């Protein structure tokens, strides 16, 4: 019924009917005041603010504050939040030993999900109303700050390099770049172009209403699980190539197309084959039936960032040409398949020097404020916090007599 949401619970309870909606194509699981998304018009707003304004004019932590609090911070609130990001950046020394015991080349995503779950054991999780300022509790501030350190350490572990500790004088994004790129005897010069590009990407990933990972955070949290393990589950949900893992899949696909002599037709035909399983990564979206507004901003940012850094990346050419071929093809047009947030983001990460296996970790860093905001909203709303428990339509054998072992 389009935009109209109908509460049919009592009807279903009375009649015993079940709505079967695999993939939750048209099932609303909650009411929310965090993010407005119009997939027909390509509009995305956090708490009413257009994503383009926020990406152009805010720092990532301002947007995190907005998502958690409902309002942008004033200067004093922002300073307090920034101080908290500095205060909580270090990890308990015992946690640091964990990094030594992952196998060599462990995936940064599995490290991230494990270590975020482990925070629950190292830092007591407080109740929602424990000493909050503007919706920020010690629990949420700790997580927002420590996830950045964990993400950076997972990179160092993967690279086999010594860990680099956070600095108190750097902004959220600059500190992250310092922790991943600084090396003993090879100090890293923080480049404002890269800081600003990272800031923009994190803002554009900060929330996207009831996507797979956010719904996972809500569903896991609905059983009464605390914040840190709920977020750990969200990180795992994000990992898949149909969701946040698509940014890494895009890069591998573009590299393959390039290595294949830019044979675009071959990849388009593979993607269109109804018998095949290949999809063009970074195209299509469940909700957008038009160009993803985040992709439009990131595409422009690709040109700006690569231009400022004087980088000529052949993969940007491949991506632009692939998009042009897709937009001229009836198959993709009829199905409303446009670039999504993951299509161009990897080219910027690559320009910054972040390797492909960290791309989905970067997505998780950006998405964290949204996950927390949804977990908090769910816990404060009695109706939404009812335990999530979908029904099913059973299609197996309903009843049969038991067969003893010797007769089977």
Distance separating alpha carbons of residues 224 and 182, to the nearest angstrom = 40
Binding residue for ligand ACO (CB under 6 A) from 82, 167, 226, 279?
A: 279
What is the smallest separation between the CB atom of 321 and ligand ACO, expressed in angstroms?
A: 16
**Which distant-in-sequence residues (6+ apart) come within 8 Å of 406 by Cβ?**
none
What is the smallest separation between the CB atom of 215 and ligand ACO, expressed in angstroms?
A: 12
What is the smallest separation between the CB atom of 273 and ligand ACO, expressed in angstroms?
A: 9
59-67, 221-229, 238-246, 298-306 -> range binding ligand ACO (CB under 6 A)? 238-246
- Residue among 147 and 238 whose Cβ is closer to ligand ACO: 238
**Which distant-in-sequence residues (6+ apart) come within 8 Å of 285 by Cβ?**
39, 292, 338, 340
If one counts every other C-beta atom within 10 angstroms of the C-beta of residue 376, the result is: 21
The site for ligand ACO, by CB under 6 A, has a size of 20
Q: What is the DSSP letter of 70?
A: S
51-59, 110-118, 191-199, 276-284 -> range binding ligand ACO (CB under 6 A)? 276-284
Is the Cβ–Cβ distance between 271 and 278 less than 8 Å?
A: yes
Confirm or reject binding of residue 380 to ligand ACO (CB under 6 A).
Answer: no
Distance separating alpha carbons of residues 354 and 345, to the nearest angstrom = 11
Strand partners, 186: 183
Catalytic residue among 178, 205, 285, 374: 285
Catalytic residue among 84, 182, 207, 342: 342
- Residue among 145 and 281 whose Cβ is closer to ligand ACO: 281
* 274-to-270, 331, 400 alpha-carbon distances in Å: 9, 11, 39
Residues from 170 through 199 that contact ligand ACO (CB under 6 A)? none
Helix 138-159, helix 172-181: angle, nearest 10: 30
Of 201, 155, 206, whose CA–CA distance to 178 is shortest?
Answer: 155
* 221-to-207, 367, 380 alpha-carbon distances in Å: 17, 17, 12
- Residue among 81 and 267 whose Cβ is closer to ligand ACO: 267
Q: What is the DSSP letter of 231?
A: H
Binding residue for ligand ACO (CB under 6 A) from 45, 82, 243, 289?
A: 243
Residues from 15 through 74 that contact ligand ACO (CB under 6 A)? 23
Confirm or reject binding of residue 246 to ligand ACO (CB under 6 A).
Answer: yes
- Residue among 21 and 121 whose Cβ is closer to ligand ACO: 21
Residues from 98 through 137 that contact ligand ACO (CB under 6 A)? none
74-82, 95-103, 164-172, 278-286 -> range binding ligand ACO (CB under 6 A)? 278-286
Is the Cβ–Cβ distance between 385 and 378 less than 8 Å?
A: yes
What is the smallest separation between the CB atom of 388 and ligand ACO, expressed in angstroms?
A: 20
Distance separating alpha carbons of residues 238 and 12, to the nearest angstrom = 32
Binding residue for ligand ACO (CB under 6 A) from 285, 299, 350, 374?
A: 285
Is 21 tagged catalytic? no
- Residue among 139 and 281 whose Cβ is closer to ligand ACO: 281
Residue at token pair 């109740």: 127
Please, what's the b/e burial string for 111-146 (b: 16 or more CB within 10 A of its CB; e: otherwise)?
A: bbbbbbbbbbeebebbeeeeebebbbbbbbbbbbbb
- Residue among 244 and 369 whose Cβ is closer to ligand ACO: 244
Binding residue for ligand ACO (CB under 6 A) from 283, 338, 344, 371?
A: 283
Is 342 tagged catalytic? yes
Of 377, 395, 393, 394, whose CA–CA distance to 29 is shortest?
Answer: 377
Is the Cβ–Cβ distance between 244 and 364 less than 8 Å?
A: yes
Residues from 286 through 345 that contact ligand ACO (CB under 6 A)? 286, 335, 337, 340-342
Binding stretches for ligand ACO (CB under 6 A): 23, 211, 242-244, 246, 271, 279-286, 335, 337, 340-342
Residues identified as active-site: 285, 342
């Amino acid at each position: 019924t389009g935009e109209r949401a109908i509460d049919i619970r009592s009807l279903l309870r009375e009649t015993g009917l079940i709505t079967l909606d695999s993939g939750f194509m048209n099932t609303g699981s909650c009411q929310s005041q965090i993010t407005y998304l119009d997939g027909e018009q390509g509009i995305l707003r956090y708490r009413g603010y257009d994503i383009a304004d926020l990406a152009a004019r805010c720092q990532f932590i301002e947007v995190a504050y907005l998502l958690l609090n409902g309002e942008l911070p004033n200067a004093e609130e922002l300073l307090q939040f920034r101080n908290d990001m500095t205060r909580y950046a270090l990890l308990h020394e015992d946690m640091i030993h964990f990094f030594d015991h992952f196998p060599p080349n462990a995936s940064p995503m599995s490290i991230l999900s494990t270590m975020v779950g482990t925070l629950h054991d190292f830092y007591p999780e407080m109740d929602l109303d424990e000493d909050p300022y503007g919706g920020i509790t010690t629990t949420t501030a700790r997580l927002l700050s420590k996830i950045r350190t964990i993400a950076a350490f997972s990179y160092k572990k993967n690279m086999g390099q010594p860990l680099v500790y956070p600095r108190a004088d750097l902004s959220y994004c600059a500190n992250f770049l310092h922790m991943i790129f600084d090396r003993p005897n090879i100090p890293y010069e923080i480049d404002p172009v890269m800081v600003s590009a990272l800031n923009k990407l994190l803002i554009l990933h900060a929330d996207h209403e009831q996507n797979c990972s956010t719904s996972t955070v809500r569903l896991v949290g609905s059983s009464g699980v605390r914040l840190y393990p709920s977020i750990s589950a969200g990180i795992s949900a994000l990992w898949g190539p149909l969701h946040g893992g698509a940014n890494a899949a895009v890069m591998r696909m573009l590299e393959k197309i390039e290595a294949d002599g830019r044979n675009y037709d071959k990849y388009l035909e593979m993607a269109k084959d109804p018998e095949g399983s290949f999809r063009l990564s970074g195209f299509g979206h469940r909700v957008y039936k038009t160009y993803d507004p985040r992709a439009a901003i990131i595409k422009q940012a690709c040109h700006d960032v690569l231009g400022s850094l004087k980088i000529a990346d052949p993969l940007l050419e491949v991506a632009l040409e692939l998009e042009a071929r897709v937009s001229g093809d009836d198959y993709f047009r009829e199905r409303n398949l446009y670039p999504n947030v993951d299509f161009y983001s990897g080219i910027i990460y690559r320009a910054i020097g972040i390797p492909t296996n960290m791309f989905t970790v970067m997505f998780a860093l950006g998405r964290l404020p949204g996950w927390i905001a949804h977990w908090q909203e769910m816990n404060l709303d009695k109706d939404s916090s009812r335990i999530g428990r979908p029904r099913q339509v059973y299609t197996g054998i309903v009843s049969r007599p038991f067969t003893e072992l010797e007769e089977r």
